Amino acid sequence: MRVAVVGTGVIGVSWARLFLAHGHEVVATDPATGAAERLPDGVAFTPDPAEAVDGADFVQENGPERLELKHTLLATLDAATRPEVVIASSSSMLRPTDLARGVPGHPERVLVGHPFNPPHLVPLVEVVPGEATSEAAVDAAMAFYAGVGRTPLRLRAELPGHLANRLQAALWREAYSLVERGVATVADVDTAITEGPGLRWAAVGPITGQHLSGGPGGLGHVLEHLHPGTEALWGDLGSPTMTPELADRLVTQVTEAVEGTDPDTLLARRDAVIRAVLTARESR
């Protein structure tokens, strides 16, 4: 199978590694200087996006999150590919219906295939159809992502940020508020998650985790007895504004938290933990 990777930033390169590892022929394109050098061995490269997708069986688009630019790029991809080929965008925020407006020929094959960084390690891919997306395109995308070892999750409605980013945003909102109010440092926030609920969430997710904490009564017991306190917490959550002062505090504290460790070392540690968690889950 020939897969075109359009855009070779951090996400595009990671996609390319994944597709290669599963035996696909990968052709990549990116207008940036040095783009070809970022790619793993075995990936064909061309600066021409139309040439990259010519003959492709699946297209993964990873361009910048600017709708006008996406429209220009997607129109080029649409004109250069067979009409039945899925064009999946890695967009983390844009709605597929809005993306498809830039595809005059075959908008029915446009959808969002949003990964989590790094895609070659993290299994989740959010598959989001738009108003014009066909069921055939959704089915093809779900099968393709499953075939490269991912866990595709079809969303039932279009929302900015899809599903997981919205959950992350809710956590970041309160985390930033706590730092802003001086309740906790960035290091405290990170430790609270990695040494606490993050361990459970990697195993069972937040709502099933609640269910398990309820004993024989499960989630019903938790909701019956703890919902007043939970609602009180909801009312007390912060609504921070990203002022220059808050941004400076966050950047300063995260710099202190990593203690000068270079980014490559941090990434290697992160990836090693992700691999260990995935291995442990597979052995269950």
Q: Do residues 210 and 229 lie in contact, with contact meaning Cβ atoms separated by under 8 Å?
A: no
Beta bridge partners of 59: 4, 87
- Of 128, 154, 180, which residue is a domain's last? 154
Q: What are the pLDDT digits (tens) for 147-206?
A: 999 999 999 999 999 999 999 999 999 999 999 999 999 999 999 999 999 999 999 999
- Using alpha carbons only, give the angle 249, 254, 260 rounded to the nearest 5 degrees: 130
- Using alpha carbons only, give the angle 251, 257, 259 rounded to the nearest 5 degrees: 105
Any domain includes 159: no
Q: What are the pLDDT digits (tens) for 55-89?
A: 999 999 999 999 999 999 999 999 999 999 999 99
Q: Give the whole-angstrom CA distance, residue 204 versus residue 219.
A: 14
Omega prior to 118 cis, within 30 of 0: yes
pLDDT over 80 (residue 212):
yes
- Of 90, 122, 154, which residue is a domain's last? 154
Whether residue 194 is found in the same domain as residue 121: no
Whether residue 198 is found in the same domain as residue 274: yes
Whether residue 85 is found in the same domain as residue 175: no
Q: What are the pLDDT digits (tens) for 90-103?
A: 999 999 999 999 99
Any domain includes 110: yes
Smallest Cα–Cα separation from 3: which of 69, 125, 86, 119? 86
Whether residue 133 is found in the same domain as residue 245: no
Any domain includes 277: yes
pLDDT over 90 (residue 111):
yes
Whether residue 9 is found in the same domain as residue 116: yes
Q: Give the whole-angstrom CA distance, residue 32 versus residue 223.
A: 52
Give the pLDDT of residue 2.
98
Beta bridge partners of 28: 5, 45
Cross-sheet strand order for the sheet of 58-61: 44-45, 25-29, 2-6, 58-61, 86-89, 110-115, 124-129, 151-154
Whether residue 108 is found in the same domain as residue 15: yes
- Of 101, 129, 154, which residue is a domain's last? 154
Whether residue 102 is found in the same domain as residue 242: no
| Count of domains for the chain | 2
Whether residue 234 is found in the same domain as residue 143: no
Those residues with Cβ within 8 angstroms of residue 214's Cβ, 6 or more apart along the chain or in another chain: 220, 221, 222
Give the domain range for residue 76. 2-154
Any domain includes 100: yes
Any domain includes 267: yes
Whether residue 139 is found in the same domain as residue 168: no
Any domain includes 78: yes
Q: Do residues 114 and 126 lie in contact, with contact meaning Cβ atoms separated by under 8 Å?
A: yes
Whether residue 233 is found in the same domain as residue 172: yes
Task: Identify the CATH number of the domain in which residue 6 sits.
Answer: 3.40.50.720
Helix or strand (DSSP H, E) at 28: strand 25-29
> DSSP letters along 135-160, please?
HHHHHHHHHHHHHTT-EEEE-SS--T
Task: Identify the CATH number of the domain in which residue 253 sits.
Answer: 1.10.1040.10
Any domain includes 126: yes
Give the pLDDT of residue 104.
87
Banded pLDDT at 227 (limits 50, 70, 90): confident
Burial per residue of 82-106, b for 16 or more beta-carbon CB atoms within 10 angstroms, e otherwise:
eeebbbbbbbbebbbbbbbbbbeeb
Q: Do residues 124 and 148 lie in contact, with contact meaning Cβ atoms separated by under 8 Å?
A: no
pTM of the predicted protein model? 0.92
Give the pLDDT of residue 211.
94
Any domain includes 273: yes
Q: CA gyration radius for the chain?
A: 21
Whether residue 127 is found in the same domain as residue 78: yes
Burial per residue of 107-125, b for 16 or more beta-carbon CB atoms within 10 angstroms, e otherwise:
bbbbbbbbbbebbbbbbeb
Whether residue 181 is found in the same domain as residue 143: no
